[in-house]
Amino acid sequence: MKSVGRLLRYKDVYDIDGSEELFIDAMRENCKFQYDNSEDYRKILDGMNFNPDNIKSMEDVTNIPFLPTLFFKTHRISSYKNTKHLYKATSSGTQGKFSEIGFDIGSLWSAMIMSLRILRHWKIISPIPCNYIVFGYQPKKSNRTAVSKTAFLTTLLAPALHRTYALKYINGKYEPDLEAVFEAVKRYSKKKAPVRFMGFPSYTFFVMQMMEERGVSVKLPKNSKIMLAGGWKQFYKEAVEKDVFYSLAKKTLGIEEENIVEYYGAVEHPILYTDCPNHHFHVPIYSRVVIRDVNTFKPLPNGQMGLVNLITPLFKATPLLSVMPDDLGILHDGCECGCGIKSPYLEIIGRVGLKDIKTCAAGASDLLDKSNLSKVIQGGEK
């Protein structure tokens, strides 16, 4: 996987055009590797009449058969014979169905370099110690949900003085303890060190709402940041509008909009997406996005809504090279943003599924399972 190394060393993390040839080469190498090492993946490619050797253009990359998240929830697929040595990450799926994705050490190393490059680009890595409020789970051995790991890992980006967790493990399950967060915010606001909020957007929002209702506002130390991760599902159109979130952050915590950073990454596509000053998720060079027609899966031009297909050559142990999460989105031309980054940006509009499907056609409940009905706020599907 020589080309992956070269891609990781590529300087400008948003130079999609300049890195295209490297990306195509890396995809071909990865696809061949998966084809040679995973019997199931080979059967899929053969069945779809796709030959990895023929990957020579971006169009060929687009034609690589994609694997939906649903596929990972129902199959354990790996290109490593000995899966014992793999680091396993699970998505916190609903209804007991979850993906378990294996990562090899080499790929994790690549992911780390990728993350560091992107975070360095956005100057997130800082030597100044911080107090952390983590809107995630307290790490625990039995809890392999990727969100809790990423939430913890991000607290290492700047040295941690203290960490407060919003989700406490009480009587065998995780429960939000917003009062404790409220107290911590008041406490931290009197200190000098910047505060960083990490994790699910919805909880951050609840705490800010709580503060507003009680008429409490603080001015957190300079360079305090709200870092939102754990999936976008709290930010779908029908949920909190981002503008409301930003103004509430300023009012209750004294945090300016530019210090609110959002991340996106899925277990099946662990590429770090960070929003730009205009809060757009530009596609980094390690990833490509294809928006597909919901019926035919044909690629759609930029600006049209469809199923999101995420492509990356970075991971070896599991065929993650082309995946399709349950998201509907739009890819916009980079120039529409105005932040200066030319790479296109991804807007997530919502999730697949119909909220209140009404049918009496026999068998329909199996086909349209109700997994999307249960909107669990502690979600963090990604």
Residues that bind another protein (CB under 8 A): 40, 43-44, 46-48, 67-68, 70-71, 74-75, 294-297, 305-307, 324, 326, 328, 350-365, 367-368, 372-373
The CA-atom distances, in angstroms, between 181 and each of 205, 218, 323 are: 12, 13, 36
Region for residue 183 given its phi and psi (left: phi exceeds 0; alpha: psi -120 to 50; beta: otherwise): alpha
Tell me the closest approach of the beta carbon of residue 369 to another protein, in angstroms.
Answer: 9
C-alpha to C-alpha distance for 217 and 213, rounded to whole angstroms: 10
- Alpha helices (runs of H) in 192-269, residue ranges in sequence order: 201-213, 242-253
8 A C-beta contact, residue 327 and residue 352: yes
**Residue 351 and residue 335: Cα distance in Å, rounded?**
26
Q: Say what angle helices 105-121 and 2-9 make with each other, to 10 degrees.
A: 20
Closer of 244 and 364 to another protein (Cβ): 364
Q: Measured from the CB atom, is 173 or 192 closer to another protein?
A: 173
Q: Please say which residue, 45 or 166, places its beta carbon nearer to another protein.
A: 45
CB of 347 to another protein, least distance (A): 15
Rounded Cα distance, 238 and 351, in Å: 12
Residue 237 Cβ vs another protein, minimum distance, rounded to whole Å? 12
CB of 360 to another protein, least distance (A): 4
Rank residues 97 and 342 by Cβ distance to another protein and give the closer one: 97
Rounded least distance, CB 132 to another protein, Å? 36
Q: Look-up: residue for tokens 């991804």?
A: 346
Distance CA 288, CA 250 (A): 34
What is the nearest approach in angstroms of another protein to the Cβ of residue 70?
5
Query: Whose structure tokens read 């919003």?
Result: 166
**Minimum distance of another protein from residue 96's CB (angstroms):** 15
Residue 51 φ then ψ, to 5°? -110, 115
Q: Residue 381 CB, nearest distance to another protein (Å)?
A: 14
Residue 170 or 360: the one with the smaller Cβ distance to another protein is 360
Residue type, 219: K
- Using the minimum distance from each CB to another protein, give the nearer residue, 44 or 181: 44
Least spacing, CB of residue 95 vs another protein, in Å: 13
Nearer to another protein, 114 or 324 (CB): 324
Helix (H) or strand (E) holding 356: none
Q: Which is nearer to another protein, 30 or 38 (CB)?
A: 38
- For the stretch 328-333, contacts whose Cβ atoms lie closer than 8 Å and that sit 24 or more positions apart, written own/partner, are 328/294, 328/352, 329/289, 329/291, 329/305, 330/291, 330/302, 330/303, 330/304, 330/305, 330/306, 331/283, 331/289, 331/290, 331/291, 331/302, 331/303, 332/280, 332/302, 332/303, 333/302, 333/303
Tell me the HSE value of 337 on the side-chain side, using a 13 A CA sphere: 22
Q: Using the 8-state DSSP alphabet, how is residue 62 labeled? A: H
Given the complex with another protein, which of 170 and 362 has the nearer CB atom? Answer: 362
